[in-house]
């Protein structure tokens, strides 16, 4: 069996540095000193740095090996902080904030000049989120800073939903990791742009139907961007969230050739070409499935396997977020 994994991903520094994990107070101190620290949120773990400080932002991009054309999300701990970051804020933003903040929703708004171009990929807009995780809120408040924080992983790799996931990829690259336990939501935030017509830029736990309940009609963007061009929102690459073991997504045609060491992530009661290794939700609960997806992808991303199969998931409600992530993570989407 071919080992397609990079053993260096599980750095020896993981065992040397973490645990012990970083405390809230220590994280706040490091952030005020311009360092970058991984923090828990309800969606995925974020790699946080001072959103006002270009040098801290540069450390985020360097640690993740993230291209600078991919903008960052700024995290706040009070709706009142919105005016420190954004301008020309429409009433619709406050309606959404009242309904879904704190929580897994990011709003794109016109940015103030105090936000460096590096944070926004030189776009005139900024993405802002108020996370619900109490540890994230505590760190933002104690540091006194809005925090730019993309997912705390290497660019295009599987997003982390535990502190251990972060340490396995970034332990030798960042100043600290705060352990807040497994993420409850499990996928990145929904993103809606309020620059122009309300447009859902990335699906997540806040579904298009939930946005429509507050705003009326909203557009849904086909969330892809051309390589090398600035993205209007994070998470727009065709290839993203990808394990190193190849992943196929969808219903496998009869007789389709599969490697000997194939594992399967099942959903509901579907029957597959190989027995289920794990099941996102035996009852077909999409919220449960969302919370488990990345954790299972991490667990199965080992040299023991040649292929990960994932059962098809209905493309409705939160299922839109699951389909979005799995299509980007897969090297093949099966019919």
- Ranges assigned E (strand) in 51-124: 73-75, 105-110
pLDDT at 3: 35
- State the burial class of residue 94 (Cβ atoms within 10 Å of its Cβ: 0-12, 13-18, 19+): middle
Q: Which pLDDT band holds residue 17 (cuts at 50, 70, 90)?
A: low
For residues 50-84, one letter each, b for 16 or more C-beta atoms within 10 angstroms of the residue's C-beta and e for the rest, the string is bbbbeebbebbbebbebeebbbbbbbbbeeebbeb
pLDDT at 234: 87
pLDDT of 5 higher than 80: no
Average the pLDDT over each of 67-76, 216-225, 282-291 and give the range with the smallest value: 216-225
> What are the structural domains of the chain?
7-220 (3.90.870.10), 247-333 (3.40.50.11030)
Question: How many residues are recorded in the chain?
Answer: 335
pLDDT tens, 250-262? 999 988 999 999 9
Q: Which pLDDT band holds residue 10 (cuts at 50, 70, 90)?
A: very low
pLDDT at 20: 84
Q: Output the pTM of the full model.
A: 0.92
**What is the percent of the chain with per-residue pLDDT over 70, rounded to a whole number?**
92
């Amino acid at each position: 069996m071919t080992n397609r994994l990079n053993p260096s991903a599980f750095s020896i520094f993981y065992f040397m540095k973490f645990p012990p994990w970083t405390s809230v107070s220590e994280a706040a101190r490091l952030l005020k000193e311009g360092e970058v620290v991984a923090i828990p949120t309800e969606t995925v773990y974020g790699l946080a740095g001072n959103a006002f400080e270009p040098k801290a932002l540069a450390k985020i991009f360097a640690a993740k090996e993230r291209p600078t054309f991919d903008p960052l999300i700024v995290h706040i701990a009070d709706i009142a902080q919105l005016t420190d970051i954004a301008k020309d804020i429409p009433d619709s933003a406050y309606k959404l904030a009242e309904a879904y903040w704190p929580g897994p929703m990011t709003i794109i708004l016109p940015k103030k000049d105090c936000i460096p171009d590096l944070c926004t990929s030189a776009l005139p807009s900024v993405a802002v989120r108020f996370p619900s995780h109490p540890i994230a809120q505590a760190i933002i408040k104690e540091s006194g800073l809005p925090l730019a924080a993309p997912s705390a992983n290497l660019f295009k790799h599987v997003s982390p939903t535990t502190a251990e996931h972060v340490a396995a990829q970034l332990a030798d690259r960042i100043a600290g990791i705060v352990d807040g336990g497994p993420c409850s939501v499990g996928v990145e935030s929904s993103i809606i742009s309020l620059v122009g017509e309300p447009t859902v830029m990335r699906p997540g736990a806040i579904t298009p139907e939930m946005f429509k309940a507050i705003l009326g009609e909203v557009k849904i963007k086909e969330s892809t961007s051309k390589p090398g061009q600035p993205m209007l929102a994070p998470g727009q690459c065709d290839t993203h969230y990808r394990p190193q073991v190849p992943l196929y997504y969808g219903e496998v045609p009869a007789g389709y050739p599969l490697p000997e060491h194939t594992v399967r992530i099942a959903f509901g009661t579907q029957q597959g070409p190989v027995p289920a290794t794990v099941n996102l939700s035996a009852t077909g609960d999409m919220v449960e499935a969302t919370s488990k997806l990345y954790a299972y992808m991490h667990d199965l991303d080992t040299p023991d396997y040649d292929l990960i199969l994932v059962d098809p998931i209905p493309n409705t409600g939160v299922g839109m977020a699951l389909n979005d992530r799995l299509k980007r993570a897969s090297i093949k989407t099966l019919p």
